Structure 1
Amino acid sequence: MPNGSEARKVKVQVEAFQLFNQQYYSLLIQDEHVELDQGKAHPFYGMAQALSADLKNSLLELRYQPQINIVDNSLYGVEVLARWTSDEFGSVTPDRFVALAEEFGLIAELDLWVLRQSCQQLASWRARGVYIPIIAVNFSPLSFNYPGLKYEIQSLLDQNGLLASSLVIEVTESEKIKTSDLFVDVINDLHSIGVIISLDDFGTEHSNLKRLLKFPVSQLKLDRTFVNDLPNKLSKDLSEVVLSICKKIGAVAIAEGVETQQQLSCLKRMGYEVVQGYIFSPPLSKYELEHWLHSME
């Protein structure tokens, strides 16, 4: 029989896998939303109209948060984050306007706008000798319903002279991921041309280990809830489980939301190699990122 320490370790492993596997979803991507021209009675119709107009006029802004390889303190990549300040509604949080875009069928337009701007910016940086290894762009699971997504992404990469290996598509772990044949096919198509596939917020209540068997994942991003509670023992044990899963499937583990030296030291001791968070930098404008990179030289 295992001793007390080993028994506790086994119990933690079991609890972790139960956490990751709480729900087994049916094999569908939900795509229910309110059409913009049919939702005039919806309480957020006006805000959705404003978002649609600002997208068409490219009035949203991008921020870039560095991801750091803490083994050699080099830049691993940057995550691209959209920000929206509306003339009518003021500053709208990302959670709110992303949910709004999903609700009103604008999410693919939003995600592709961010990708288009990101590719152009990465190409501009590289043309001026500012080297960013990879950019990570968030995609809602609902955007994978967009017809010809693979060809749209390949076209954007080609137009900007970028290799597919320069791009990470981050899919957020959520109840909206219903692993349909279409979703899996698009993920595999993107992987086949060299795009890096990342699962964001891994370890949340919506995480599903079966998903890792369905499509190729090159990155897992540890949910910031675990990082926030470090060095709490259970959070540490669960973080180690995620790292172990990454090693088994050959994926890079990224810890996000790192804010304190204590959290960073704990992640280092566990074996995490890539982190992002305010301990290194908040999300930055393109000019601020250039200045930050210069200061790191």
Structure 2
Amino acid sequence: MEQELHKALERGEFHLQYQPQIDCQTGKIVGVEALLRWQHPVWGLVSPADFIPLAEETGLIVPIGEWALRTACNQAKLWEQAGYDPLRVAVNLSARQFQQENLVQMIQQVLQETDMQPELLELEITESAVMKNPDAVIGVLHELKRLGMKLSIDDFGTGYSSLSYLRDFPIDRLKIDRSFVSAITEKDDAVIAQSIIAMAHNLHLSVLAEGVENELQFAFLREQKCDEMQGYLYSKPLSAEEIKQWLQKIAQGISERGPCVARKREIIDEISCAAES
């Protein structure tokens, strides 16, 4: 797999999919997360869980990550040039990328080359990556923040981070890990999710819940004033063309509903109306 991974980038086997991020109160799409996919000519679609840890270990995540960032920024610009409202795009940064001496310069160069507005780019770093070397990461995050980008901590709640560091990080958003969302009907997990939302808001941070898959999860998150959500309840990850078609329908006033939701979104609407009344 390592040998094939070396060849994958030059052979153009990687592509991005984009999962919509939805405002919990309005139901409108406010951004997308760019997700890396590897389509091998023989093996087919390779799971990110299989190849991303290897890419991290070998250092290949550095050129792959730069490719993903440039591709996502280019795509965001194409959607904008097509006449759609600017869309926030979230891109993951790995722990290995934070070891790059020129990380900030690389990101700045990509923004200039793609003419991407910095405020429309959100960079995500996992909580565990932050805690490997928090003092060094804080400095890099401050540099990125000065460029105007949004910053978020992904998989929050799994990395045992110190709250003192959380206070010092120049971040805008916490993403609740899907493991807490999936079991949100359980008392302990519900308390954790509720606590994360309350703590984040007290720190003037917004909150996005990952992996929202059913109406009960959505209703709980909305009741707790979670700001945004993403997950299969609203939409699976989509190709760039599918996102474009969706944006076109929204622009035409046809629908703001994702392609995977049908009756599910109707249930959400019913829950929302009930909560408001």
Please indicate the TM-score interval, normalised by the length of the shorter structure. 0.7 to 0.9
**Residue pair 2:15, 2:36 contacting (<8 A) in 1 also:** yes
Distance 1:78 1:132, change over 3 A: farther
Name which of structure 1's ranges 225-234 and 113-122 shifts more when overlaid on structure 2: 225-234
Q: Aligned in 2, Cα 1:100/1:66: closer, same or farther, shift over 3 Å?
A: same
Q: 1:138–1:170: 8 Å Cα contact kept in structure 2?
A: yes
Q: Distance in 2 between matches of 1:262 and 1:204?
A: 23
1:203, 1:223 within 8 Å by CA — same for their partners in 2? yes
Name the counterpart of 1:92.
46
Q: Percent identity?
A: 35
Q: How does 1:56-67 map to 2 (within 5 A)?
A: 56-67=10-21
Partner in structure 2 of residue 163 of structure 1: 117
Q: 23, 28, 31: which is aligned to 1:74?
A: 28
> In structure 2, what residue type is equivalent to 1:211?
Y
Distance 1:85 1:208 in 2: 38
Structure 1 runs of 4+ aligned residues shifted over 6 Å read none
State the partner residue of 2:142: 188
Deviations 1:145-166 (A, max 9, x none): 1121111111111222222111
Give the letter for the 2:7 counterpart: A
Match status 1:219 vs 2:173: yes
Cα distance in structure 2, aligned partners of 1:250 and 1:128: 34
User: In the aligned structure 2, how far is the partner of 1:243 from the partner of 1:86?
Assistant: 39
- Relative to structure 1, the CA distance from residue 64 to residue 109 in structure 2 (aligned partners, 3 Å threshold; closer, same or farther) is same
Q: How does 1:250-289 map to 2 (within 5 A)?
A: 250-289=204-243
Alpha-carbon separation, structure 2, partners of 1:165 and 1:63: 21
Q: Is the 8 A contact 1:175 1:206 kept in 2?
A: no
Q: Which residue of 2 aligns with 1:15?
A: none
- Cross-structure match for 1:128: 82
Paired residue total = 251
> Which runs of 5 or more structure 1 residues have no equivalent in the other structure?
1-46
| Separation (CA, whole Å) in 2 of partners of 1:288 and 1:159 | 25
The answer (yes or no) to whether the contact 1:179–1:211 under 8 Å persists in 2 is no
Segments of 5+ residues of structure 2 without an aligned counterpart are 254-277
Amino acid across the alignment from 2:229: V
The aligned counterpart of 1:179 is: 133
* Alpha-carbon shift at residue 180 of structure 1 (Å): 4.6
Once the two structures are superposed, what CA deviation does each residue of 1:6-53 show, in whole Å capped at 9, x if it has no partner?
Answer: xxxxxxxxxxxxxxxxxxxxxxxxxxxxxxxxxxxxxxxxx1221121
Q: Could you tell me which residue of structure 2 aligns to residue 232 of structure 1?
A: 186
**What is the alpha-carbon distance in structure 1 between the residues aligned to residue 61 and residue 165 of structure 2?**
22
1:115 CA drift (Å): 0.2
Distance in 1, matches of 2:43 and 2:163, equals 40
| Structure 1 residue 208 displacement after superposition | 3.5
Instruction: After TM superposition, give the deviation of residue 249 of structure 1 in Å.
Output: 1.6
* Cα distance in 1 between the residues matched to 2:159 and 2:204: 23
Alignment TM-score, normalising by the size of structure 1: 0.80
Match of 2:156 among 192, 195, 202: 202
Distance 1:180 1:212 in 2: 10
2:271 aligned residue: none
* Aligned 8 A contact 1:150 1:189 in 2: yes
With CA pairs under 8 Å and 6+ residues apart, which has the higher RCO, 1 or 2? 1
Alignment of 1:18-33 (within 5 A): none
Q: 1:229–1:180: structure 2 CA closer, same or farther, 3 Å change rule?
A: closer
